[in-house]
Chains A and B, each alone.
Chain A
Amino acid sequence: MERMSLNATPFSIEMEELVIGYRNAPPLNSPFSGRFEGAGIHLVAGRNGSGKSTLIRTLAGLQPPVSGSILWGEDDLSQIASNERGEGMAFMASTPPRTSGLRVEEVLELMQPSLEFRDRTLQQVGAQEWLDRRLSSLSDGQAQRVMLARALLQNTPWIALDEPTAFLDAPSRTAMWKTLLQLSESGVGLILASHDFRFLEGKTALSSVHAIASSGWLSLDRLGQASDWESCF
């Protein structure tokens, strides 16, 4: 069952006076506003503890903001029901699940894809040989690829990725970035938080670069150099 959003272009995502963080803890930032628009890769950089992961989860509607709001297109994210939210944006966590005993086939079946869509996606991420394997029997890099396939099968205009390469070895990292670049060219919008962004330097698929800096939300020159971006944190 493929959803209607298959060919939908990514809606705009607007942050208004946004403060992110957790209950009973000091907020992570002073209010900022910003916007993500269009397909391609949108990079969110920043130092450890700056709130990148929290921002990614907040943008995906998986945790409420402390204050301020997020608009998905015209709609206030906090008013969107969980099943509709799942049709707008998929999410991939930085660590793959380690205790799920589900087989890869069963994980993908949760998204109810057509067989053709499933196999094409598996090929795309290079996971076609593990259908019968248990998720818990795969290495982190392998499991992360399966989780990416799962997110793709959600068939959403946006995918949010929290440190997609954080726990991968060098060859797996390169493979993951290549897959993500390919994806971004197929019309999907990717918001991703990462430290490991040198691979993206100078790539045309990079639509925007932002940093959560101590001074606030910075939108950087996307064609600049990774070392320049880092100096802005």
Chain B
Amino acid sequence: MTAKQLCMAIGVGILIQGALHLAWGPISIQWLNALSTWSNPSTTDSLVFFHVRLPRVLTAMAAGSGLALSGLLLQTWFHNPLAGPSVLGISAGSSLGVAVIILTGLTWGWWGVTTAAVGGGMLTLLLILAVSRRFHGSATLLIFGLMLSYVVGAVVTVLQAEAAQDALQQFVFWGMGTFGQAPLRISGLMLLMVAIAGRMIFLRSRDLDAWTLGSITAQSMGVDAKKLKYSVIGITGVLAGIITAVCGPVAFLGLATPHLVRLVSDERSHRRLIPLTILMGAFIALLADWGVRAPGIDGGGWPLNAVLSLLGGPMVVWVLLRKTWNA
């Protein structure tokens, strides 16, 4: 299958899943009814459609795509197949930002939480970039990310111990991860940002391909390492930060999705990997959300991170065994 056909196939899978997610739920709704009142959603049908199901589908797609793209960029930049926003501690950094806002009782609203999450993620990423120069070998980087997560986790735990009851509860639920919390305009905004980020980095496909030949070789080919680095930091930090703020620290999507793409496709050039990864991320996120929605009712099923870990953990082990990074 060519890359184009595969993109189409995944696209169709996204559309089918999206339609099913919109149609299925504990409350059956009339689509026509819901859509006809889109400008003034007041009936039950349109409230369920526009305030619950559509934002949830869009959020899942944006989060899946954004994290998958971040994972791909980090794996390429660090020449490390096991890099990803959660592995390197970027999600943990964002969590700390969110924890500071929620647990200390600051009521800064959505923008405050998001800014803190983006700031925390970006700071973590800058820290990793600063020290990664001294690391040789891929294991060191991952262990550093792990240690960073532990330290940040410890700070969060201290904050939790000191927090008020209702703030704590809010934070714990947020930590389980969900696609079901964002209002429609936020989910639409997230999707738009992922599209812009994808377009921006797609234009640097050649630089990213050259980067796989080694950072020194890439620079000898005229790649501006600083520009590429800031593109990767900017995109990864902003996407992972916003997604973490809205959906919680979502596990595995960033790390596992690029490998899933490498598993089903022979393509390794970023011109193909970027669109494939973005689409695959949306597809997997929608798939995982069945595990969250199906066992219970809207917003009350299994925690997203439990579902993703049950899916993602074995998959990463499988990837390691199959060595798709090299093959």
Contact = CB atoms under 8 A, between A and B. Distances in A.
Q: Do A and B come from one complex?
A: yes
Contacts of B326: 98-99, 101, 136-137
Given A106-B269, A110-B206, A99 B325 contact: yes
Contact of B219 (A62, A99, A147): A62
Contact of A134 (B209, B216, B221, B268): B268
B225 to A, nearest CB: 8
B215 to A, nearest CB: 9
Contacts of B223: 82, 86
A83 interface: yes
Interface in A11-68: 57, 60, 62
Contact of A82 (B206, B212, B219, B325): B219
A110 B217 contact: no
B220 A89 contact: yes
A106 B268 CA distance: 9
B212 A102 contact: yes
A140 interface: no
Contacts of A136: 326-327
Q: What's the dominant secondary structure at chain A's contact region?
A: mixed
Contacts of A160: 220
A108 to B, nearest CB: 11
A63 to B, nearest CB: 8
Contacts of A91: 216-217, 220
Contact of A147 (B81, B212, B213): B213
Contacts of B209: 102, 106, 110
B219 A93 contact: no
B222 to A, nearest CB: 3
B214 A97 contact: yes
Interface in B14-43: none
B262 interface: yes
B51 interface: no
A93 B218 CA distance: 11
A162 to B, nearest CB: 9
Contacts of B325: 99, 101
A111 B269 CA distance: 14
Interface string A105-142: 01100110000000000000000000000111100000
A86 B220 contact: yes
Nearest to B134: A24
A85 interface: yes
Nearest to A106: B269
Given A93-B214, A100-B212, A101-B325, A83 B224 contact: yes
Contact of B221 (A100, A102, A135, A154): A154
Contacts of A97: 212-214, 217
A67 B327 CA distance: 44
A62 B213 contact: no
Contacts of A86: 220-223
B210 interface: yes
B204 interface: no
A225 B225 CA distance: 41
A90 interface: yes
B224 A93 contact: no
A105 B210 CA distance: 13
Contacts of A195: none
Contacts of A83: 222, 224
Contacts of A90: 220-221
Nearest to B75: A99
B30 to A, nearest CB: 49
Interface in B288-323: none
A97 B221 CA distance: 14
Contact of A60 (B214, B220, B327): B220
B170 to A, nearest CB: 42
Nearest to B268: A101
9 contacts: A86-B221, A87-B222, A91-B220, A92-B217, A93-B216, A93-B217, A102-B209, A102-B268, A110-B221
Given A136-B327, A137-B327, 12 more contacts: A62-B216, A82-B225, A83-B224, A84-B222, A86-B223, A92-B217, A93-B217, A99-B79, A106-B209, A106-B268, A110-B209, A110-B210
Interface of B: 79, 81, 206, 209-210, 212-214, 216-217, 219-225, 262, 268-269, 325-327
Interface of A: 57, 60, 62, 82-87, 89-93, 97-103, 106-107, 110-111, 134-137, 147, 150-151, 154, 160
For the complex of A and B, 3 pairs with smallest distance between CB atoms: A86-B222, A91-B220, A101-B268
